[in-house]
Amino acid sequence: PEFHGNPNFASCLLPDHLISMAELDLLTQNVVCAHSETCQFLQENLQVIRWETFSQSEVHGFQQKPMDHMWERCVCHITNAIQQIVEFAKRLNGFMELNPNDQIVLLKAGAMELLLLRMSRAFNCYNNTIFFEGKYAPLDLFQSLGCNDLISAMFDLCHSLCAVNLSEYEMAFYSAMILLDPTQPWLQEKEKVQSLHVKLDVAFRNLLRRTHRESILGKLPQRGRLLSICQVHMEKLKVFRQMYPGMAWERFPPLYRELFV
Ligand code: CLR
């Protein structure tokens, strides 16, 4: 009873380090702030326009656009979203202290996966539409891109994620843990990433315990499913580059080109 409420005694014993409750709280605050400051669209704002969908003739208008034009437009939006994901990474405690090589390794591997997670926030699973240029768009609006299979895999993933109904806290932790993945090959200081990952894991589990949400861990989509979508994205990009050698690729933003060469 003497020790009750003393954060130093309420710490969790781990192989190499002790994490106090105070440290867990700070970490939670950090991860959640990093997410909310970089998530572009607040959940409550998206909620307000959730039912504003493009009309049939607007959809038709998008479908008439040339393939390279639609690609350029989508790639531009994706790049802006990834810029925010880079910003998210930079705000996570410890990320900027990794060496620059490892920062790039993690972002190259994780940026698209994080975008897929964020996509589920902007998805209306009741009518299968996704937020795009101010309104909600159905799958066939993107027809002229020539990758319906990819986009429908993305929509399916959104469905699975929506079913879990992640809170912004959970989304923040899940994103941070996917990004700080110590198993990425080519990391030079694996142990540093490992130690950040362990702390996140403890903090995430602690949050889930307190909110009685441990059951979501079994419901989150398999990592392989995210990876396979990223793979297909790369393949589609390759096909597109072959169709429009030179010029279209050069008009893509440098950040996108750097991450997806
Ligand atoms: C995801 C959540 C981000 C903001 C954001 C920006 C760009 C959007 C993306 C969201 C969702 C998916 C999206 C994308 C632009 C194009 C893409 C609508 C809302 C569609 C699915 C087309 C993908 C085509 C390629 C992979 C070629 O905070």
Output the residue whose Cα is nearest ligand 1's atom 18.
132
Residue 19 β-bridge partners: 12
pLDDT digits (tens, 9 = 90+) for 148-162: 999 999 999 999 999
Output the residue whose Cα is nearest ligand 1's atom 15.
74
Residue type for 162, please? C
The mean pLDDT of the chain is: 92
- Nearest atom in ligand 1 to the alpha carbon of residue 118 is 2
Tokens of 128: 């299968």
- Nearest atom in ligand 1 to the alpha carbon of residue 123 is 19
Rg value, the chain, Cα = 20
Give the C-alpha distances (Å, rounded to integers) separating 22 from 27, 171, 210. 9, 22, 15
* Ligand 1 site, residue 249, Cβ cutoff 6 A: no
pLDDT digits (tens, 9 = 90+) for 103-138: 999 999 999 999 999 999 999 999 999 999 999 999
Pair 119, 158: CB distance under 8 Å: yes
Q: What is the whole-number distance in angstroms between the Cα of residue 22 and the centre of ligand 1?
A: 37
Pocket test for ligand 1, best of 54, 130, 139, 171 (most atoms within 8 A of CB): 130
* 222 has a pLDDT exceeding 60: yes
* Ligand 1 site, residue 40, Cβ cutoff 6 A: yes
pLDDT at 17: 56
* Ligand 1 site, residue 145, Cβ cutoff 6 A: yes
Q: What is the whole-number distance in angstroms between the Cα of residue 18 and the centre of ligand 1?
A: 40
Query: What's the ipTM?
Result: 0.98
Pocket test for ligand 1, best of 77, 80, 144, 171 (most atoms within 8 A of CB): 77
Q: Where are the alpha helices (DSSP H) in 92-222?
A: 100-121, 148-164, 168-179, 190-210
What does 146-160 look like in DSSP terms, one character per residue? S-HHHHHHHHHHHHH
Beta strands in the chain (DSSP E): 12-13, 18-19, 123-124, 129-132, 135-138
Helix 67-91, helix 100-121: angle, nearest 10: 120
Give the three-class secondary structure for 12.
strand
pLDDT digits (tens, 9 = 90+) for 199-210: 999 999 999 999
d(CA 173, CA 201): 8
- Nearest atom in ligand 1 to the alpha carbon of residue 71 is 27
- Name the residue with tokens 């202290």: 97
pLDDT digits (tens, 9 = 90+) for 48-99: 999 999 999 999 999 999 999 999 999 999 999 999 999 999 999 999 999 9
Name the band, by pLDDT with cuts 50, 70 and 90, for residue 1.
very low
* Ligand 1 site, residue 128, Cβ cutoff 6 A: no
Q: What is the whole-number distance in angstroms between the Cα of residue 242 and the centre of ligand 1?
A: 22
- The bridge status of strand 135-138 relative to strand 129-132 is antiparallel
Residue type for 165, please? N
Helix 168-179, helix 100-121: angle, nearest 10: 150
pLDDT digits (tens, 9 = 90+) for 20-50: 888 999 999 999 999 999 999 999 999 999 9
d(CA 73, CA 52): 21
Q: What is the whole-number distance in angstroms between the Cα of residue 132 and the centre of ligand 1?
A: 7
